[in-house]
Amino acid sequence: MPAAKPAEQLRSDGSLRHLLTLEGLPRATLEHLLERASHFVAPLGQMPSRNAALHGKTVAIMFAEPSTRTRVSFELATHRLGADVINIEVQLSSRLKGESVLDTVATLESMHVDAFILRDADAGVPDLVAGHVASHVSVLSGGAGSHAHPTQGLLDALTVRRAKGRIEGLSIAIVGDVRHSRVARSAAQAFTALGAGDVRIVAPPALMPDAGEFIGCSRHESLASGITGADVVMMLRIQKERMAAAAIPDEAHYFAEWGLTRERLRLAAADAIVMHPQPMNRGVEIASDVADGPQSVIRDQVRHGVAVRMAVLETVLLRGDQP
Ligand code: NCD
Tens digit of each residue's pLDDT (9 = 90 or more) over 26-56: 999 999 999 999 999 999 999 999 999 999 9
DSSP string, 209-232: PPTTSSTT-EEESSHHHHHTT-SE
**Distance between Cα 320 and ligand 1 center (Å):** 30
Identity (one letter) of the amino acid at 75? E
6 has a pLDDT exceeding 90: no
Q: Whose CA is nearest to atom 8 of ligand 1?
A: 277
- Average of pLDDT values for 174-190? 98
Integer Cα distance of 165 and 158 in angstroms: 10
Enumerate residues lining ligand 1, CB below 6 A.
69-70, 143, 149, 152, 182-183, 237, 277-279
What per-residue confidence (pLDDT) applies to 2? 47
For the stretch 266-322, pLDDT in tens is 999 999 999 999 999 999 999 999 999 999 999 999 999 999 999 999 999 997 556
The SS3 assignment for 215 reads coil
23 has a pLDDT exceeding 90: yes
* CATH 3.40.50.1370 corresponds to the domain 27-148+305-318: yes
Mean pLDDT of the chain: 94
Q: Which atom of ligand 1 is nearest to the CA of 236?
A: 12
Which CATH architecture describes the domain 150-302? 3-Layer(aba) Sandwich (3.40)
Integer Cα distance of 262 and 265 in angstroms: 5
240 has a pLDDT exceeding 90: no
Q: 127 with 151: CB under 8 angstroms?
A: no
Q: Which atom of ligand 1 is nearest to the CA of 181?
A: 4
Integer Cα distance of 148 and 156 in angstroms: 13
3 has a pLDDT exceeding 70: no
- Taking residue 67's Cβ as centre, other Cβ atoms within 10 Å add up to 16
Q: Which atom of ligand 1 is nearest to the CA of 65?
A: 3
- Average of pLDDT values for 155-180? 98
Q: Whose CA is nearest to atom 7 of ligand 1?
A: 70
The SS3 assignment for 234 reads strand
Identity (one letter) of the amino acid at 40? F
What per-residue confidence (pLDDT) applies to 95? 65
Q: 184 with 174: CB under 8 angstroms?
A: yes
For the stretch 118-150, pLDDT in tens is 999 999 999 999 999 999 999 999 999 999 999
Classify burial at 196, counting beta carbons within 10 Å of its beta carbon; exposed 0-12, middle 13-18, buried 19 or more: buried
pTM over 0.85: yes
- In percent, how much of the chain has pLDDT > 90? 88
For the stretch 65-107, pLDDT in tens is 989 999 999 999 999 999 999 999 877 566 666 678 899 999 9
End-to-end C-alpha distance for the chain, whole angstroms:
34
What are the extents of the domains in the chain? 27-148+305-318, 150-302
Q: Which atom of ligand 1 is nearest to the CA of 142?
A: 7
**Distance between Cα 89 and ligand 1 center (Å):** 18
**Distance between Cα 99 and ligand 1 center (Å):** 27
CA 11, 17, 20, 23 dihedral sign is positive
Identity (one letter) of the amino acid at 146? S
What per-residue confidence (pLDDT) applies to 321? 57
The model's confidence at residue 244, banded by pLDDT at 50, 70 and 90, is: confident
The SS3 assignment for 303 reads helix
- Average of pLDDT values for 211-233? 97
Pocket test for ligand 1, best of 140, 183, 234, 297 (most atoms within 8 A of CB): 183
